[in-house]
């Protein structure tokens, strides 16, 4: 069975959560007889058959970027050519340009949409886009949501719930690099033996303003791993607030991320808007047996992090509650460790890549029947 994944960005040029999901599906599918390819856009131009792990990635030239949406004239031809040779098209939503390509190509193949998030920020543009979006979602064969909570709270998914299947995102620990004792020692020297960790892109919906405010009360070391459009603004705010306990680490290789996940005391994940549909970083920390702190925003974050069981859940946009959650974990190491163990157990029961790939493969096969 051959599958084409289509999304605006992909490895090795970008390293986000959706890219991680596509990578896990492409790699894990090989054991089920699924051969995957990925088509994305790149400012560096067109490329074919770039080896990523055990599968191939292709790029079309990015011509224009507007309102978080990439456009490419060459993608129409590239998509049509690649789609002709596969059995299933797996789209990754949201990406309005993808909807246009879907209709323009007129490819008659079974289609799956991995629904990663509602469109939250561009409310004015959403009104213009809605007819196309509803037409696109109405035309595909199956929609996959990552948690029951997201279906319940998404007005868009409610319109198409008869074709929605829940498949939680999963990770494979074997795809994470081995970390040497020297690497672990290096980070322990820099950050100390106990610190909180944030992992993610520095974007508007990540709630990092509230984390910085919380850090004025919770004066523990907090490492922020990631880069993004808010980086300069956040660094300036940290200086303005006199936060010597905040460590901006920028973007780092996977081996460093893995080392930090292994070493951290707990993961703090203050995302406060529905743009955060799931929270891959929460999943990664759970995989490494860490207690979790997240916000209740009606999405998959609290499908991963069960309040009082795998960590603590606080109201969004509430720096005081966020600070108190960090203090509670810090001052109760035995209970924090127990929460971490329960997070790891829930990961093994619900969120492994093997479970995710098995479920996607069942969806693919049902469509081919």
CATH of 2-171+352-368, one of 3.40.50.2000, 3.40.50.150, 2.30.29.30, 3.40.50.300: 3.40.50.2000
Decide: 189 and 259 in contact? Cβ < 8 Å: no
Q: Which residues pair with 57 in a beta bridge?
A: 38, 50
Angle between helices 280-287 and 17-28 (to 10 degrees): 60
Please report the pLDDT score of residue 322 as a whole number: 98
pLDDT tens track for 22-36: 999 999 999 999 999
> CA-CA distances (angstroms) from residue 152 to 31, 57, 165, 166, 300?
33, 34, 12, 11, 11
Going by C-alpha positions, the residue among 105, 115, 97 that lies closest to residue 78 is: 105
pLDDT above 70 (res 259):
yes
Residue % of the chain over a pLDDT of 90: 88
Task: Place 123 in a pLDDT band, splitting at 50, 70 and 90.
Answer: low
CA dihedral 28, 29, 31, 35 (to 10 degrees): -130
pLDDT tens track for 195-210: 999 999 899 999 999 9
**95 CB-near residues (< 8 Å, 6+ apart):** 7, 8, 69, 70
Task: Place 120 in a pLDDT band, splitting at 50, 70 and 90.
Answer: confident
Going by C-alpha positions, the residue among 364, 154, 326, 344 that lies closest to residue 245 is: 326
DSSP 8-class letter at 163: G
pLDDT tens track for 298-336: 899 999 999 999 999 999 999 999 999 999 999 999 999
pLDDT tens track for 265-290: 999 999 999 889 899 999 999 999 99
CATH of domain 173-350: 3.40.50.2000
Helices (H), the chain: 17-28, 74-84, 96-105, 123-139, 148-153, 155-159, 181-191, 208-215, 231-240, 254-263, 280-287, 301-304, 319-331, 333-350, 353-368
pLDDT tens track for 7-63: 999 988 887 789 999 999 999 999 999 999 999 999 999 999 999 999 999 999 999
Decide: 64 and 75 in contact? Cβ < 8 Å: no
Alpha-carbon gap, residue 118 to 235, rounded angstroms = 29
DSSP 8-class letter at 73: S
Same fold, 2-171+352-368 and 173-350: yes
Domain boundaries, the chain: 2-171+352-368, 173-350
DSSP 8-class letter at 305: S
Please report the pLDDT score of residue 122 as a whole number: 66
Decide: 263 and 287 in contact? Cβ < 8 Å: no
> CA-CA distances (angstroms) from residue 188 to 180, 191, 254, 260?
13, 5, 17, 9
């Amino acid at each position: 069975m051959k599958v084409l994944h289509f999304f605006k960005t992909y490895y090795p040029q970008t390293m986000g959560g959706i890219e991680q999901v596509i990578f896990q599906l492409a790699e894990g599918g090989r054991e089920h007889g699924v051969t995957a390819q990925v088509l994305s856009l790149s400012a560096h131009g067109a490329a074919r058959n770039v080896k990523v792990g055990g599968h191939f990635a292709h790029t079309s030239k990015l011509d224009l970027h507007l309102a978080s949406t990439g456009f490419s004239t060459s993608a129409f031809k590239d998509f049509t050519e690649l789609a002709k040779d596969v059995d299933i098209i797996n789209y990754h939503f949201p990406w309005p340009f993808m909807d246009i390509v879907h209709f323009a190509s007129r490819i008659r193949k079974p289609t799956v949409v991995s629904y990663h998030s509602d469109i939250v920020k561009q409310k004015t543009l959403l009104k213009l886009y809605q007819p196309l979006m509803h037409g696109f979602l109405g035309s595909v064969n199956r929609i996959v949501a990552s948690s029951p909570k997201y279906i319940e709270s998404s007005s868009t998914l409610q319109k198409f719930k008869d074709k929605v299947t829940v498949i939680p995102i999963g990770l494979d620990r074997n795809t994470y690099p081995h970390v040497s004792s020297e690497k672990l020692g290096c980070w322990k020297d820099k950050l100390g033996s106990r610190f909180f960790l944030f992992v993610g892109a520095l974007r508007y919906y990540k709630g990092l303003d509230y984390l910085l405010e919380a850090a004025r009360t919770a004066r523990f070391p907090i490492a922020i791993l990631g880069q993004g459009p808010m980086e300069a603004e956040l660094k300036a705010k940290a200086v303005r607030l006199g936060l010597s306990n905040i460590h901006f680490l920028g973007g780092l290789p996977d081996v460093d991320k893995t080392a930090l996940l292994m070493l951290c005391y707990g993961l703090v994940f203050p995302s406060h808007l529905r743009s955060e549909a799931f929270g891959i970083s929460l999943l990664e920390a759970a995989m490494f047996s860490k207690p979790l702190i997240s916000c209740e925003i009606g999405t998959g974050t609290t499908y991963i992090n069960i309040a009082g069981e795998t960590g603590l859940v606080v109201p969004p946009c509430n720096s005081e509650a966020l600070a108190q959650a960090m203090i509670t974990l810090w001052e109760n190491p035995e209970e924090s460790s127990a929460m971490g163990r329960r997070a790891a157990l829930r990961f093994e029961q619900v969120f492994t890549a093997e479970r995710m790939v098995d479920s996607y493969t069942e969806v693919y096969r049902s469509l081919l029947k």
